Homo-oligomer: A and B are copies of this chain.
Amino acid sequence: MDNWILKQAETAPDRLAVDDGKTQLTFLELKQQVSQLAGQLKAASVLDGDRVAIMTKNSLLGYLMALAVLGSGKTIVWINWRLSDDEIKRQLSDSEPAACLVADELFRESFDQQFIPFSTITNQTAVQVTLVPEFPSQTVASIMYTSGTTGRPKGVMQTFGNHLASATASTFNLGVMPGDEWLCAVPIFHISGFSIMMRGLIYGMANRLVDHFDAELIDRVLKHEPISTISVVPYMLKQLLKYRTADNTPYQANFRCMLLGGGPIDRPTLQQCRQRQIPVVQSYGMTETCSQISALNSADADKRIGSVGKPLFLTQLTLSQANQEVLIKTPALTPGYLNRQAAFQRKLNDTGWYRTGDVGHFDEDGFLYIDGRLDDMIISGGENIFPDEVEAAYANRPDIDEIAVVGQDDAKWGQVPTAFVVSDAPLDQADLTAYGRQKLAHYKVPTRFIKIDKLPTNASGKVQRFKLKQLL
């Protein structure tokens, strides 16, 4: 395949490529700026190795820096700026980039000479470079460390072919039109954001970058700029809805889709979206599959609360007979984890299907529901219990701020569910039990409610249930 940056500069030179709210670049200008930056990266000896790490927010310069690395034929190692020094050090020591480029505002005193501020690059005198002519399908474009909720982070490798397959499957579901513009407020160092960048280069579509999630700003952008699509997580969607209550100015006419990742939405939120004519597509995917592999379209949403819809084109999806684990085949699947091929091989079953680690079920019309993580599943007296379901049952109690459920070993039942609760109020065990029995099968109700000051979470804010288990 042609280098996508060069390709769009050739076929759509005058089309908008990127807009951060202050600067707009066409695809021709994008190519010029990326070439200039590539020359500066070379001058700074950053292009000597195979990989370059980047740590940035969704800024224009961060976006350009990433494309300069790709355009020079190097692999991006995306670093989450929320990580601790130790976590960053582990990822860099695993991926061995020539350098880690850091947005100036994220630079830390603790960083050594491996870390290079963006301004050091942009202050270089560019040397002459030619961008690579091709983006070969099998070449690794990006590496993202999945924080996971257990164990050592794994560097997920994503090839250009993976990104193309993902962007293609998305097209056949959401549609694509010349003039589309995708608002990117989710981090470009996660697959949710980086896949928007890749779709931009593949479709010849504009990216509207928003530096961080600011509901008021985004509501304003959706009202006044020709955005067709925005990627959101449930929290963002709910915040955006609040602004819709106060203001009836509609979004621009070509607004077509809120692509929701990170879990399904509840019925009240969905109803609000419908009242305000906001089409929501609920999706399911992971870093290992280069973004969404399954989607529930707006028209089906009402009757399928909690579902993530049906597998996209190019995705084959089935459930393991043994334990209902979601198994997939897709050309968007990572070729593996960096330096940990054995760990990746363990995630393939004996017929080559990728084991997602999620447990799911289909309804009678073939809509998929994700029940929870296989690792989190509690088996009690032969029954499966998913912490998510139990936690959701307690979510609306005023005396519970946060709750996490894990399995505790039990001589009689094998395991029993146990809850950790963050609360300012005293906990009434009997009342909590009675409450749960009204909402859940009895075996799903936690046998104990344990107060805790704070739930342990990882860098992306997911509860680390394995740490709670260690407390038992």
Contact = CB atoms under 8 A, between A and B. Distances in A.
A195 B56 CA distance: 43
18 contacts: A1-B314, A1-B316, A2-B316, A7-B313, A10-B366, A11-B310, A11-B313, A168-B171, A171-B172, A171-B176, A172-B202, A172-B204, A175-B176, A175-B178, A176-B176, A177-B177, A178-B297, A204-B313
Nearest to A317: B2
A323 to B, nearest CB: 22
Interface of A: 1-2, 7, 10-11, 134, 168, 171-172, 175-178, 202-204, 297, 310-314, 316, 366
A176 B178 CA distance: 9
A117 B142 CA distance: 55
User: What DSSP secondary structure best describes chain A's contact surface?
Assistant: mixed
A313 B10 CA distance: 11
A1 B317 CA distance: 11
Contacts of A11: 310-313
Nearest to A168: B168
A175 B177 contact: yes
Nearest to A294: B11
A168 B1 CA distance: 13
Nearest to A10: B366
A82 to B, nearest CB: 34
Nearest to A311: B11
Q: Which 5 A-B pairs have the closest CB atoms?
A: A175-B177, A11-B310, A168-B168, A172-B203, A2-B316
A134 B178 CA distance: 32
Contacts of A297: 178
A246 to B, nearest CB: 32
Contacts of A134: 316
